Amino acid sequence: MNKKAVLYSNTPPSDSQKQKFTEFLSVRHGGNVSLTWKKEELPEGSFRLQVGSEIYDWSAAGRLLQLKEALAGIDGTGRDIIPLLKETIVNWTPTALAHEEGRVLTVGDGIATVSGLENAAYGEILIFSSGIRGMAQDLRKNEIGCILFGDDDDVSEGSIVRRTGRTAGIPVGEGFLGRVVDALGNPIDGEGEILSEEYRPIENPAPGIIDRQPVDTPLATGILAIDSMFPIGRGQRELIIGDRQTGKTAIALDTILNQKGRDVICIYVAIGQKASSVAQLVQTLKNNEAMDYTIVVNASASDSAPLQYIAPYAGCALGEYFMNNGSDVLIVYDDLSKHAIAYRSLSLLLERAPGREAYPGDVFYLHSRLLERSAHLSEEKGGGSMTALPIVETQAGDVSAYIPTNIISITDGQIFLESDLFFSGQRPAVNVGLSVSRVGGDAQTKAMKKAAGAIRLDLAQYREMEVFTQFASDLDDATKRQLTYGQGLMQVLKQEQNSPYKQSEQVVILVIVLNHLLQDIPASQVKNAIGRLLRHFKENHFDIMTRIASTGMLSDDDKNEIISVAKQYMQER
C-alpha cells in the first residue's frame, strides 16, 4: 500500500529537492511514498515532513527540541554536570529524526483521549504541549486513552501530544532515604532536590523462580502476638486486613520502628490517605529516629486517581533498586483497597467494561503484578529481599468481598484485626483464628520457635471455653484455671503502640507465661507483672538475654534459668 507524505514549507521544493525527499522516504519507510507539498509559514530553509503520524521537523524549533532531548539524557548522578553539558553541546549535530505527534480529542477527569499516535505502547509516557505528562493506558484502533499526571485544566482539545519512547518510571537512589516524595518521585517535604542515581521503570517483571531462594530469615515486627504466632520472613507478603480504625497502620508503623539498627530499608506508600495522617506518621518516624532508613511515598486523597494508581508501583521500583543492590527492604502499601478504587475510577472513565462490583476484569492482575515483585533473591542475584505488608480495609469484617479475597489469594498469609477485640481493649486486635502465616516456623529463630510452643493452641482453647464464663459458678476448678490462664495470656499479648519488643524480651515473656508462672495473679495485674519481670531480667540477668539475642537459640539451661529466676522473683514479691 502506498504511503502518503506531506511536505510543509514556505516555498515548493525544486525537482532535485523533491528527488532527495523521495529517496529519503523510500529508505526510511520502504516502497512507494507519494509526496505532496503544502504551504506553511516557516523560516527560510525550514520544513516539516509528515508521514502518517510521524513528523520530521527541520525547523529551528524542531532542532532546538532535539538538543533539549539530548541534554535531558544526562542523568543526575552526582557528577559535575557542566563538563557533560559542554561535551553534549559540542558533539551534538541535528539529524533527521522522526517524532510522532497526536491531537487531543477529549479531556476531563484526569483522562485524555488522543488520536494520531499509531505506534505508542502501553505504559508509554506522552508529553502534552502544556508540559503535562500522561501515560498511555488504553490502546484502541484509532485513538489512545491516556491518564494525566497533572491538572487536566492545562490540557485542551486539539492540543499537540508527543511520544517520548520511555515507559513510566521514577528516579531512584540512596538520596531518597529520609525523604517524602510524591508518586512521580518529586520531593514534597520542602527539603530541596534529591540527587538520583538512575531512572527505573515503575512496571517491572517479577523475579523468576530460579532467581529466588526460600523465605527463611525472620523480619521481626516487635509485636509479640505476631512474632510468636504469625512470623514474617524476609521476602514474604503478609496481608494486614481489618475494618476501619482497628490498628492496621499502627502494626505497619511498629514494624518499621522495629527495623532500627537491623539494616532494613523501609518504604511506606500512602494511597488515598489524609495529608494530616501522613504528616503525623512522618513526625512519629522522626521522633523515633526511623526516617534515617525510611522513604515515604505519598499519593494523598487530594491527589488525582492516576497518581494514586501509580504510587504503589513507584514505591516498589524504589524498593527494587535497593533489593537488587543486596539490601533488605520492607514496603508497606497503605492501602490497596483505595488503590483498587482509584483504578476502578480510571477504568470506568476509559470506558472499560465493568465486572463484579464495577471493578474491571484485570483488577486481580493489578495487585498480583505488584505483590509478586516481592522476593528473597538468590545469592547469584545479590541475596537482597523485599518484604511486602499490603493493607486492605474491610467493611463490617467481610473478608469474602472481592478485593480482600483477591489479595488473600496472592499473599503468603494475613493478619486479621477484629473490631470487637479492638473496642474491648485488646490491642493489637489480632484474631488468632482467622490470621495465618503460610511461611510459619521457617521465618522464626529457634529460640522463638521453642519459646512460643503451643501458644496458638492454648489461645484457641481459651476462645472456645470463653463462652462458658457466664456459667462460672458451675465450672470445675480445672476449667476455671484454664480460663484464668487464657485471660492472663490475652493480657500479655496487649502491647502499647510504638513500643516494639526485642526478640530476647519476647522469648523471656513467652517462657514465663507459657509455664503458668503468672497463673495465680489476677488478669488485670498480669501486664504490670510482666513489665516488672522484664526490668528485673534487664538489670540483673542481662547475660541470658544477650545469649538469646546473639545466638538465636534458647538452650534448656537458659530456659530453666528464666523459670527459676521468675519463680524466685514472684515469691519475693
Q: Would you name the residues annotated as active-site residues?
A: 438
- C-alpha separations of 365 from 204, 206, 226, 268, 359 in Å: 13, 13, 29, 22, 12
Backbone angles phi, psi at 434, to 5 degrees: -95, -10
Q: Is 288:498 a contact under the CB 8 Å cutoff?
A: yes
Q: How many CB atoms lie within 10 A of CB 515?
A: 15
Say which amino acid occupies 382. Answer: G
The continuous run of DSSP H or E covering 215 comes out as: none
* Amino acid identity at 360: P
Task: State the cell numbers at 169.
Answer: 518510571
Residue recorded with cell 482509584: 342
Say what the alpha-carbon torsion angle 413, 387, 185, 69 is, to the nearest 10 degrees.
Answer: -110
Phi then psi dihedrals of residue 134, to 5 deg: -140, 175
Mutual angle of helices 503-514 and 477-492, in 10-degree steps: 170
Please provide the size of the chain in residues: 573
Dihedral pair phi/psi, residue 554, rounded to 5°:
-125, 100
Distances 319 to 35, 74, 153, 256 between C-alpha atoms, Å: 51, 23, 33, 14
CA pair distance 177, 86, nearest whole angstrom: 31
Q: SS in 3 state form for 430-496?
A: ECCCCCEECCHHHHCCHHHHHHHCCHHHHHHHHHHHHHHHHHHHHCCHHHHHHHHHHHHHHHHCCCC
